[in-house]
Structure 1
Amino acid sequence: MSMIRVENLTFAYPSSYDNIFENVNFQIDTDWKLGFVGRNGRGKTTFLNLLLGKYEYHGKIQASVQFDYFPYPVNNKNRLTTDILSEVCPLAEEWELLRELSYLEVRDDVLWRPFFTLSNGEQTKVLLAALFLNDGHFLLIDEPTNHLDMKARETVSAYLKRKKGFILVSHDRCFLDGCVDHILSINRSNIEVQSGNFSTWFTNFQRQQEFELAQNVKLKKSIDNMQKAAKRTSVWSDRIEASKYGNGPVDRGYIGHKSAKMMKRSKAIEVRQQRAIEEKSGLLKNLETVEDLKIAPLLYFSDTLVTFSDVVPIFDGKNVCQPISFTVKQGERIALDGKNGSGKTSLLKLLVGQQIEHRGTVAIGSGMILSYVPQDTSMLNGSLSEFAEANRIDESLFKAILRKMDFSRIQFEKKMQDFSAGQKKKVLIAKSLCEQAHLYVWDEPLNYIDIYSRMQIENLIREFSPTMIFVEHDLAFRNAIATQNIRLTVG
């Protein structure tokens, strides 16, 4: 057991005017399983890169362990998987690798296949297995769930629960709850460490914010009352003092004593007021405000919007899944479920009119308007204004939605290719929310998106009940909004 200590850490990118971290202090035990949470753009990946020594910074980071990073960069994916893993963990024996792969429900034969032939989920699992075989290293795991289906997420979460000594960046609440024992949270003004899983941390964080809001209201009222009392006392003191010099005989000693007493009282109120102001200034620094989003779905003239009849996507001449038949009716929110590679994305692409080889028919209602959020964000470049104009959406509404999703105004001045992965995904969701549609087609919309925004989108969908068909592996989100699950079986 050893400690990782962060002292007075301050960092800003050379091209930025604002510090991402400013005088940050905390320490963590290298045996802990830490979930790392925070809103998009707060600096989670940046902090991991600071631990890895990639950037210069002010302050101190003291650690007696070597850091490894996931995702591990694989340069030549044509090599055999066993050769790549030997590079990742050179001291591990083959039997140790096979043991770890069995925990992750990965077949032994993947070791002797070229790495590129492994699915994204298999690649994630074998690299994690190899990295955990580096004894004495501390693992920095950056969003491993984005290529994992729901079953794989459960498997990897259970695997991580067996391990110790890692920081895990993830926005999947169920995934975090299954494997971490501490939470490292990037807040608005600091970084904090707390014992427990995500649900425990979130409950405590909400209670703290509720307490601070109540205390803020109480102190504001108290300060207002003290300001009024101080003003009254000051006026009375001035009047009494002035009465010493009026016409006729007066007891100037008594009046002076009374005036001094009033001034003393005024000073005491001023001191109490200043203390209350200082206490109030320490509140609400980490308050997370989540504004309500809105959407304007269109009502279709028919109860049935789409019908899938014995549809089978085909890839390289082979059926991707078993024939699937179902309908999408007004007000339904259908979640497509199944392993990676079972054809979920292909069905959505067929629905939005992309050319995918298939059998069966997809019947779409006449005149129906769809809004599509794809998985891929690589097409995003240029400014937000240019994007709004190209997609014929109201720029003011578009940017107002992004503001509600925690975009700062300075973000509007940047090029989209410089956004974080989560911010890019928010751009696509904001575009969809600007569009009036009969059917919203969303393909893994929550990849990289922070937990607060996930909850914000859940609340939106529950309130406005748009008709949707979507793919999403976040179990908490799916349970909250899906009215029906359609299971796809690999062909």
Structure 2
Amino acid sequence: MIDLAVKNLKKYYSANMIFDHVAFDIKSGEKIGLIGPNGSGKTTLLKIITGIEMAEGELFMRKGLTLGYLEQLSVINLDDTVTDVLYSAFDEVNNLKQQLINYERHLSQEPENLDNILQEYGRLQTEFERLEGYSIDEKINRIIKGLDLDHHLNKTFNDLSGGERTKVMLGKVLLMNPDLLLLDEPTNHLDLSSVEWLELFLREYKGSVLLISHDRFFLDNVVGKIIEMDKDGVEIYHGNYSYYVLEKERRFYEAMKWYGNQQKKIKRMEDQIHRYRVWGEMRDSDKMYRRAKELEKRLEKITLLDKPVLEKRKISLAGLTGGRTGKSVISVKDVSKSYDGKRILHDVSFELFFGDAFALMGDNGSGKTTLLRMITNEIEPDAGQITIGARVMIGYLPQKVTFNDEEKTVLDTYVEESGTTLSQGRHDLARVLFYGDDVFKRVNMLSGGEKSRLRLSIILNNNANLLILDEPTNHLDIDSREVLEDTLINYQGTIFFVSHDRYFINKLADRIGEIQGKTIQVHEGDYSYYRERRKLDQEKQMVKKTELPGDQKKKSPYHGIKQPAPTNRTVTRKKEALAAEIMDLEQTINQLTEEMEGNPTDHQLLARLYEEKTHAENIYLDKLMAYEKLAIAVENQSEKEEKIR
């Protein structure tokens, strides 16, 4: 069943066209991701669907369809508590509940109308049960836990920050359970655990979902269809974000093939027209001229294909990296920090080495930015020591990039802060995608992504060999994030960064530091490996919780008979066998990657290779985990043997 369909939708603001030729439909239960560059009209489209804004074209909705969208919600009384706001999602159910209470009073007060009262009471109770009125508290508790609202329940709406208000309103929309849920950047202001909870909630959601997000991991885990918007219309991809990336590239190469074939055909026709004219002149033949005219008419009727463009601009960083540092870049030892008597960090210790790409993760308010500010010497630790290594030049990219005088042009700003010449400045800026007249734009006219690029270029030209980045992908669209990723992947120095963008972390990080319980735990490997480790740890904890205490365990007939412990030699042999399997899997994954890159136009082959590669990568991760467990076992066994000696 189709919930909603749009056809030939067009939107202007004054004389500026935002988008045109937008057409798609949403079927019941579909989970759809709406993507596109900033300014392509994604949020405007949601407002058109909800009736907040108008547009040319046709929009059809299934009769009785209910919509859920934050901006549609009635204005909240600022004196209402968070609990009041969440319960207001069930106004209809609450009204029914009040009516039932009133009728219960009438039952004892008006015995002469007992039959009528009982009949109406029964009708109201049936409706109350249909709306699942008895499970309201359970639903609200699920939202409170999932969105981490426990600490805000008794606060008034007036006392909440902008981000906290958005979280509460998101909770209310989810509780309203509309047929079609419209979400605009729902992961903003959520920490990682809440984002993962929301992914599961939306996957299980029975209604349809249309969401705008730049979180590629989120799109991968939630949606089964991607709608890509630009000013000329939409492209639809029936899969998640990873499928979209592959399919977009395949469509590009296919379109290039059609374009190339058409260009060859046009060239042959033009050559033939030229020959007919030459032959006509040589032989003074009207017949040849007529044939040339006929062929020209056929040529004019051909609908010319636009040359496909795969907008994948790359940044060149050659020569833009700082000098080599010593092996140790940052050493943090037993660092603690408190604010107003509240402990934020306690006994934090870790070390950052040259060439590391270290991602710092943790819940909102866990102390990530505090740790960054101590490392950059903005604030002092209460206890402990932070040592910056030899020859380290720090370049800091804050969450919000600003410049001293944003009325200046990009070129003037760059030249002033880098101490270089105008000609060298233009050359350097071109390497970070500021071409032609772009360099004469005023800085205050730049987008967030462009400002980050400009600041990063200045940092690198000042020979920074340690980059410290605080949420560098905030407010960037997907294209800008990928440009930034390409920039940082090619960087030859050390990177220490805070981010909630799991796709970005997975692509860039080779070490992950997680702040938990006011201290830090360091994990070697990328985000996918970290997730597997965390999942394994959680499973171990669950097993421990379900185990009975020692004195309650049932004793088997074999109780007290010790199983022979595996010898160190046996474990070592297993470890060596696993290492060989891991090497084989690495080779397989590399071969599959090369085969995919070598066959970009074969859609069926690409799909099969992608599936094989995903399967191989999953096995690879399992083997790595098993290898690590065996390595720990060998180490533990060696320690035991050493103690015995």
Question: TM-score interval w.r.t. the shorter chain?
Answer: 0.7 to 0.9
Alignment partners' CA distance in 2, 1:85 and 1:170: 24
If you compute each CA radius of gyration, which structure gives the higher value, 1 or 2? 2
Match of 1:178, SS state, is helix
How far did residue 79 of structure 1 move? 3.9
332-341 or 136-145, larger mean C-alpha shift? 136-145
Matching residue of 2:597 = none
Amino acid at match of 1:185: E
Matched, 1:446 2:476: no
Cross-structure match for 1:39: 37
The aligned residue for residue 315 of structure 1 is 339
- Alpha-carbon distance, 1:392 to partner: 1.7
- Would you say the 8 A contact 2:180–2:209 is kept in 1? yes
Deviation at 1:170, TM superposition (A): 0.8
Which of 374, 387, 402 pairs up with 2:398? 374
Q: How far has the Cα of 1:424 moved from its partner? A: 1.6
Tell me if 1:293 matches 2:319: no
Distance 1:6 1:388, change over 3 A: farther
Whole-angstrom distance in 2 between the partners of 1:434 and 1:186: 33
- Distance in 2 between residues matched to 1:4 and 1:302, nearest whole Å: 60
| Pair 1:263 & 2:289 matched | yes
**Does structure 2 conserve the Cα–Cα contact (< 8 Å) formed by 1:291 and 1:404?**
no
Partner of 1:13: 13
CA contact (8 A) 1:143 1:448 kept: no
Match of 2:365 among 341, 352, 364: 341
Q: How much has 1:347 moved relative to structure 2?
A: 1.3
What is the Cα-based RMSD across aligned positions, in Å? 3.6
- Greater alpha carbon shift after TM alignment, 172-181 vs 266-275: 266-275
**2:638 corresponds to:** none
**2:516 alignment partner, SS class:** coil
Q: Quick check: 407-416 or 329-338, which moved more?
A: 407-416
Residues 335 and 381 of structure 2 are in contact (CA less than 8 Å); yes or no, is this contact kept in structure 1?
no
Q: Is the Cα contact below 8 Å between 1:10 and 1:22 reproduced in 2?
A: yes
Choose from 258, 265, 282 the match for 1:222: 265
1:330 to 354, 372, 383: 354
Partner of 1:189: 232
Of 201, 222, 231, the match for 1:159: 201
Deviation sequence 1:16-61 (CA, Å, 0-9, x none): x531112433332353221111122212122223333344433333
1:111 Cα deviation after fit = 3.4
Go from structure 1 to structure 2 and tell me whether the alpha carbon gap of 1:489 and 1:387 turns closer, same or farther (over 3 Å shift): farther
Aligned counterparts, 1:199-210, within 5 A = 199-210=242-253
**Could you say if the C-alpha distance between residues 409 and 460 of structure 1 is closer, same or farther in structure 2, counting changes exceeding 3 Å?**
closer
Contact 2:226/2:236 (8 A) holds in 1: yes
**Deviation of 1:168 (Å):** 1.0
Distance 1:190 1:410, change over 3 A: farther
8 Å Cα contact 1:48/1:140 also seen in 2 = yes
In terms of mean alpha carbon deviation, does 38-47 or 102-111 score higher? 102-111
Q: Is contact 1:446–1:454 with CA below 8 Å preserved after alignment?
A: yes
Matched residues in 2 for 1:388 and 1:362: separation? 36
The count of corresponding residues between Structure 1 and Structure 2 is 462
Residue 188 of structure 2 is matched in structure 1 by 146
Query: Match for 1:227: what amino acid?
Result: E
Aligned match of 1:484: 511
Among 472, 490, 493, the residue aligned to 1:466: 493
The alpha-carbon deviation at position 70 of structure 1 amounts to 3.6
- Equivalent position of 1:27 in the other structure: 25
Q: 1:425 to 1:414 in 2, by over 3 A?
A: closer
List structure 1 runs of 4+ shifted beyond 6 angstroms. 71-74, 116-122, 378-381
Higher helix share: 2
Task: Give the letter aligned to residue 280 of structure 1.
Answer: L
Summarize deviations over 1:387-423 as a string: whole Å, max 9, x none: 9628725774686467569x9969946944xx7xxx3
Change (3 A) 1:266 1:332: same
Query: CA contact under 8 A between 2:336 and 2:348: conserved in structure 1?
Result: yes
Distance across 1 between alignment mates of 2:358 and 2:408: 30
**Offset at residue 426 of structure 1 (A):** 3.6
Measure the CA separation in 1 of the matches of 2:458 and 2:260. 36
1:101/1:108 contact within 8 Å kept: no
* 2:482 match: 455
The one-letter amino acid of 2:272's match is: A
- Compared CA separation, residues 489 and 292, structure 1 to 2 (3 A): same
The one-letter amino acid of 2:259's match is N
Structure 2: how far apart are the matches of 1:358 and 1:67?
51
What is the CA-CA distance between 1:239 and the residue it aligns to?
1.6
1:37–1:169: 8 Å Cα contact kept in structure 2?
yes
Range moving further from structure 2, 214-223 or 227-236? 214-223
How far is the alpha carbon of 1:470 from its aligned partner? 0.3
Deviations 1:44-91 (A, max 9, x none): 122223333344433333435454324779766664211222445533
- Residues 219-251 of structure 1: per-residue CA shift (max 9 Å, x gap): 32332333223212211112211xxxxxxxxxx
Change (3 A) 1:155 1:25: same
For normalisation by structure 1, the TM-score amounts to: 0.81
Q: Could you tell me the TM-score, scaled by structure 2's length?
A: 0.63
Matched, 1:132 2:174: yes
Higher RCO by CA contacts (8 Å cutoff, separation 6 or greater): 1
Gaps of 5+ in 2: 94-132, 519-645
Conservation of the 8 A alpha-carbon contact between 1:35 and 1:182: yes
Cα pair distance change 1:76/1:179, threshold 3 Å: same
Structure 1 residues without counterparts, runs of 5 or longer: 242-255
User: Which of the numbers 266, 272, 280 marks the counterpart of 2:305?
Assistant: 280
Query: What is the aligned-residue identity percentage?
Result: 27
